[in-house]
Amino acid sequence: MRFLQSVVLDFTSWAAITHKGLDLISKSLKRLACLQKLDLNLAYCREAQTDLGLQCLSQNLKQFKALQTIKLNFSDSSENVKITDQGIKSFSENIIGLESLQSINLSFAYCVAITELGLQDLSQMLKSCKSLQKISLNFGNCKGITDLGAQYICESFAANLQIIHLWFFNCQEISDIGLQSIIEGLSRLTCLFRVTLDLYDCPKITRSKANEARNALENIVALQNFEIKIPQQRIKF
């Protein structure tokens, strides 16, 4: 058991699981000295989708020196998720500086209490994980996120990133200014070969700025494919 390298758990819609259950999972994981992949789906687990739940789950992750992949889904389409900036801060502090981490996939869609303050803390964590090659972040329908939040995330992009997926659909305060920050962040990545950017239902983003984003991505030499979704159109390459 202690040599187990991958843990994948799907608790989708388990109404009974709370932060106490996540605490038990975290403590059980401590015995897995060789853990390389952690994949937990907690979508629609509303009693676990709290700041305390996120803190309990992540409290021991920094001890896993071989951990390469983290995938966590705390999404819920009801907007009843109780995760706030404080939960993002606790999570970020618990894994900051994890040198082995190569891929991180976080879904906080419909966590409406998350703002640019949470993304600032997340950005600092991403900067500290020097081996990251893939970032997938879903903050769709997080209506408190603004252009500044998008800027914070893009400032965290390290030169060796190869794959980036960003979902900001229905983040109605993200405008052309935020998209410009994203363009600038992506354009300086020389190893990037795949991008997904979902800004659907972001009414402050114009067609002209979306076309500018497409042109900028086409000029990234290593890029093999990308997709941009904005209110008026979907652009694929």
Find out whether 51 and 86 touch, Cβ atoms under 8 Å: yes
Distance (Å, whole) CA 163 – CA 179: 18
Q: What is the structure's pLDDT at 202? A: 93
Q: What is the structure's pLDDT at 43? A: 95
For residue range 126-139, list pLDDT tens digits in order. Answer: 999 999 999 999 99
Q: Please, which pLDDT band fits residue 234 given cuts at 50, 70 and 90?
A: low
Is the pLDDT at 48 greater than 60, yes or no? yes
- Alpha-carbon distances of 168 from 138, 146, 165, 181, 198, rounded to whole Å: 7, 10, 10, 14, 6
For residue range 95-104, list pLDDT tens digits in order. Answer: 999 999 999 9
Give mean pLDDT, residues 159-187.
95
**pTM of the model as a whole:** 0.94
Q: What is the structure's pLDDT at 174? A: 96
Tokens 């202690």 belong to residue = 2
Tokens 């600038």 belong to residue = 184
